[in-house]
Amino acid sequence: MRNSKILIIEDDAPIADLLSYGLSLEGYHTRVASNGADGLREIQSFQPDLLLLDWMLPDQSGLDICKKVTADYNIPIFMITAKSDITDKVLGLEFGADDYITKPFDLREVVARIRTILRRLEQSNHKDQNELHTEVIRFHHIEIRPEERLVRKNNHPVELTPKEYDLLMTLVKNPGRTFSRSDLLDVVWGYDFAGDTRTIDTHIQRLRKKLDVTDDIVTVFGIGYKFKKTGD
């Protein structure tokens, strides 16, 4: 998706300039914010297609920005972190990030990963367009309206993050199929994750709690999860 808009929230000026320059050469439109407050304002005015977010900012944590953006917008987030601990990386994913890279990084890898995220976003949007007339999905006390990305429980809207919704739909559309945690990361997050897969468990727990569907989203011990098939 050349010509896509990318907002860079990074307080290290040389790194921000490198990212902006390199992405501009690839045909992307970029804008830079040096702190979280300015970054949140730029999201409203610039309306980026992707957010390139530093973990450590002078006024607030990148995780706090991640939570706010995930709650209010459907913008993919690519986090840049100096933290190499796997727990920190998983935490970023659980807070709504789509991918992350650790400093120091190779600009070519950043560009390649951004292309992958935007390509999957484009494919997802195209898929959503093809599903505009998809029938409403109902099971027990849950109603899903794919054309609106809306989920209701007992006729009341339920707030799901984009990743929670995509995870739910992946399972619901494939009743009876067992997905490994790595499969779900690949399908929903869009890349193969070689490290800790606890982020899937966390998202499943949240879905079960928000929707009260513990009996419908079944744990397949030692493998992953599946959505209960009618009649099982």
Q: Identify the pLDDT of residue 194.
A: 46
Task: Indicate if 148 and 215 belong to the same structural domain.
Answer: yes
Tokens of 174: 């494939």
Q: Strand 224-227's sheet: what is its strand order?
A: 179-180, 224-227, 217-220
Q: Is residue 85 part of a domain?
A: yes
In the chain (232 residues long), the average pLDDT of successive 10-residue segments reads 88 95 95 96 94 92 88 85 69 78 90 85 61 74 88 90 87 94 82 62 89 93 89 55
Q: Is residue 33 part of a domain?
A: yes
Task: Indicate if 70 and 125 belong to the same structural domain.
Answer: yes
Q: Could you say which DSSP state residue 82 is in?
A: S
Contact in structure between 162 and 128 (CB atoms under 8 Å): no
Q: Identify the pLDDT of residue 152.
A: 93
Q: How many CB atoms lie within 10 A of CB 79?
A: 27
Task: Indicate if 119 and 158 belong to the same structural domain.
Answer: no
Contact in structure between 122 and 1 (CB atoms under 8 Å): yes
Range(s) of the domain holding residue 149: 134-227
How many domains does the chain divide into? 2
Q: Is residue 232 part of a domain?
A: no
Q: Identify the pLDDT of residue 147.
A: 80
Report the CATH number at residue 88: 3.40.50.2300
CA distances from 133 to 112, 129, 162, 176 (A): 34, 9, 20, 24
Question: Residue with structure tokens 């920190």?
Answer: 88
Task: Indicate if 109 and 163 belong to the same structural domain.
Answer: no
Task: Indicate if 147 and 187 belong to the same structural domain.
Answer: yes
Task: Indicate if 175 and 100 belong to the same structural domain.
Answer: no
Tokens of 45: 């005015």
Task: Indicate if 35 and 94 belong to the same structural domain.
Answer: yes
Q: Is residue 163 part of a domain?
A: yes
Contact in structure between 133 and 110 (CB atoms under 8 Å): no
